[in-house]
Amino acid sequence: MTTRFVDRAVIHLAAGSGGNGCASVHREKFKPLGGPDGGNGGQGGDVLLVVDPGVHTLLDFHFRPHARAGNGKQGQGGNRNGAAGESLELRVPEGTVVLTEDGEVLADLVGAGTTFVAAKGGRGGLGNAALASRARKAPGFALLGEEGEERDLVLELRSMADVGLLGFPSAGKSSLISVLSAAKPKIADYPFTTLVPNLGVVTAGETVFTMADVPGLIPGASAGKGLGLDFLRHIERCAVLVHVIDCATYEAGRDPLSDLDALEDELARYTPALGDSMEDRPRVVVLNKVDVPDAAELAEFVRPDLEARGMRVFEISTVSRQGLRELTYALGDIVEQTRAQRPAAEPTKIVLAPPAVDDSGFSIEPDPADPEGYVVRGPRPERWVRQTDFSNDEAVGYLGDRLNRLGVEEELARMGAEPGCRVTIGDYTFDWEPSTPGAVTHLAGRGSDPRLEQNHRVSAAERKQARRERRSERWAGGGSAADMTDDETDETEER
């Protein structure tokens, strides 16, 4: 039974949603004013990608591409917060690159234990105990939990090797790595025998390095021809590139110099996704199959031309083992020099990027679908809308207060918004009604709101004065004692 090697997978991730907050009031004997005691909802679980040295392929994601983290639990009364959702850790091999579906690189996972948050869990909603304030002492609502992030990502495995073997199909790359290391790749006498990368560990004296045998290269590979990019991405991390040239080929139009030019042309056309150029990588040319008499003569003939280009040239035969010792130690020296020149690895620094002092946290622009409408964008107002229970009028009022304090109404008025126009925030569209007269927002101090001053309710003192006036009119008009009794009864019921 052979193990399948998978170096590319598309995964569908869903983080956990946050739990809803709880709206509860403390009830206890002899404590009529217990106050709000609703707990907060739990945080949704994250989906994490973690580098595991024991994982060498993306095979698990090929068969199980869907992954979902746990949801947060809802808050409860008695100031009991909901439990956080369980995060999901997905183990990936070292050298995994995380990309969006559009090809944007999000993370390059190198080093055991390196962790990347692939999907962020939703925030838990606040309970009414956390929403209580001096102005709103007993909120009758709670915030909803936020939905977890859902993403489709592409995982690509780029081999972590010191030396990469390049060459046309059937140039002898698999044979070379099989005799230099303990790797056992498939070897046959037809093109594209190697369909997946093969890694081997090579020892040269005290130097130990890894070697990668990747699928064969043909002209046009940089544009996706043949195995195309499936080949080229595996050499992005290689410190040394070895051109394996077949000197015993009988194909028309091929010779060692033209093969080398074709390989270099494809490397020049390829743009590594990780951003590093391969032009400065050390090159070594290996003229293979010199155990064949015609191949030995051809290798001896082209060697001066290759050395004139500044290439180090080695004539080898994987059958007779000719030249393998010299090649192994030469590659070991080059790898040691490359490692010495490589800058020392620094620990990952946490970069804090505070918002700009003039950043309001939102932006407003005209709605392209509605000439008289507006669209409010920004993480804070969009999150607030998602956490609002629109079946609760008090929760809607609280949302209006938050948007007002953020300056959304003031900015809408500045842009010429009229009462009744359509305003879209996230997935919700509202008919805008300004909360203050004249469509102008005046921010008040903490615990106060200009809207509270617009109280048209008749006070108890005004009702009592109205009853006295009615009573006086009845006495002046000769009212009876029965009428007086009815007035007193009405007054008692009103109380």
117 is in an annotated binding site: no
87 is in an annotated binding site: no
Q: What is the DSSP string of 66-115?
A: EEEPPPPPPPBTTTBPPPPPPPEEEEE-TTEEEE-TT--EEEEE-STT-E
65 is in an annotated binding site: no
193 is in an annotated binding site: yes
196 is in an annotated binding site: yes
Angle, nearest 10°, between helix axes 481-494 and 460-476?
170
459 is in an annotated binding site: no
449 is in an annotated binding site: no
203 is in an annotated binding site: no
216 is in an annotated binding site: yes
Q: What is the DSSP string of 200-245?
A: EEEEETTEEEEEEE-----TTGGGT-TTTHHHHGGGTT-SEEEEEE
256 is in an annotated binding site: no
Q: What is the DSSP string of 6-31?
A: --EEEEEEEPPPPPPP---B--BTTB
Sequence letter at residue 448: S
213 is in an annotated binding site: yes
214 is in an annotated binding site: yes
CB 260 within 8 A of CB 302: no
452 is in an annotated binding site: no
Sequence letter at residue 316: I
CB 217 within 8 A of CB 226: yes
d(CA 289, CA 394): 83
- Kindly give the pairing relationship between strand 283-288 and strand 240-246: parallel
d(CA 22, CA 141): 8
End-to-end CA separation in angstroms for the chain: 89
171 is in an annotated binding site: yes
318 is in an annotated binding site: yes
289 is in an annotated binding site: yes
210 is in an annotated binding site: no
195 is in an annotated binding site: yes
User: How many CA within 13 A on the CB side of residue 360?
Assistant: 16
Coarse DSSP helix, strand, coil percentages of the chain, rounded to the nearest 5 percent: 30, 20, 50
170 is in an annotated binding site: yes
CB 148 within 8 A of CB 19: no
Instruction: Specify binding-site residues.
Output: 167-174, 192-196, 213-216, 288-291, 317-319
Instruction: Specify binding-site residues for GTP.
Output: 167-174, 192-196, 213-216, 288-291, 317-319
Instruction: Specify binding-site residues for Mg(2+).
Output: 174, 194
